[in-house]
Amino acid sequence: MKAMICEGYGSGDDLVLSDVAKPELKTDADCVVRILASTVNDWDWMLVRGKPRLYRLLFGLLRPRWKILGAEIVGVIESVGASVTEFNHGDVVYGDVSEAGFGGYAEYACLPVASLRRVPDQLDVELAAALPHAAGLAWQSLVDVARLEQGESVLINGVGGGMGVLGAQIAQHHFGCTVTGVDKAFKLEALHWLGRADALDYERVDFTGTGQRYDVIIDAQTTRTPWRLLKALKPGGRYVSVGGAPGRLVALALIGPVIGRLTRRRFHLLALKPNQGLDEVETLVLAKEIEPRIDKRFALSDLPLALQRFGRSEHIGKIVILPK
């Protein structure tokens, strides 16, 4: 089979499209899946580059622990282990496989059944590929951690990414919230279909300096200190970081709880649980309450170009990778 192989850290341009052996079942709880589509996520961009360097303690000091990356997939079941009762040959499945060894940048992958969910017949394959990771980030940050309530005010920093697009719609359409989106100007213009969402160009406006305060802030960048963020949170407000620079994340983890107790605000770091919240977001998509956005489609052989587009933050929504 064809697979994009990562032999060491770099820019992504040194990934190699190679012929490798088709995976076989490793345990009775595994499934072999023929990949129909994958996407590009922060996990993949960080693993390809080995940056931030601190993360190499987890990923591998000199090269990634995983040669075939790709954190989420949609595909067709080819075979199942003896103990698998959830799926049969030919079933279409999807999932965030970042805790299952990755493997989306190939024609086939062997994955544990626990990392997969069935794709409803009504859901387009490429839209399905765009859901698992972003859905988990959006639902868990807004609902499970922030405990979003009807009619609250929400700011999403990084609204033009996969998580932001879904999160803004969940907050607006499912919870009736007012939403402010922060991102590059061209992304905000392209997201005019979000309707009631206000827009802030982060290259011109610091959302902590506008005087506006919010009940909930979801932050995909985390470039500010908790002290700075206080200026944008209402009393009782909740701030949830879903990613960012390691130094800021460490500071948030250490200082955030103390500041929270002193100021009646709460600061959280999201510890993502793969595929938790996917069923709920899937229901909203099928009901046409929300819609994931596809940015561009790239062939597996053009994965380096897709990664560079992601790294330059030129995408709106999700970049889809097709094996053929």
Beta bridge partners of 201: 183
Give the confidence band of 194 by pLDDT, cuts at 50, 70, 90. low
Host domain of residue 261? 133-269
Instruction: Answer yes or no: is 274 within a domain.
Output: no
Q: 72 with 38: CB under 8 angstroms?
A: yes
Give the long-range contacts of residues 19-25, CB within 8 A, separation 24 or more.
20/106, 22/107, 22/108, 23/103, 23/108, 23/109, 23/110, 24/110, 25/79, 25/80, 25/81, 25/110
Which segments of 97-213 are extended strands (E)?
108-112, 117-118, 153-157, 178-183, 198-201
CATH number for the domain including 173? 3.40.50.720
Task: Tell me the mean pLDDT in the region 222-233.
Answer: 92
Give the pair of three-digit tokens for residue 97: 């496989």
Cis peptide before 52 (omega within 30 of 0): yes
Instruction: Answer yes or no: is 194 within a domain.
Output: yes
- For the chain, what is the domain count? 2
Task: Flag whether the pTM goes above 0.85.
Answer: yes
CATH number for the domain including 61? 3.90.180.10
Could you read off the pLDDT of 17-53 as tens digits, one per residue?
999 999 999 999 999 999 999 999 998 998 998 887 8
Taking the CA atoms of 311, 312, 315 and 316 in sequence, report the sign of the dihedral they define.
positive
Instruction: Answer yes or no: is 205 within a domain.
Output: yes
Edge-first strand order for the sheet with 178-183 is 198-201, 178-183, 153-157, 214-219, 233-241, 266-269
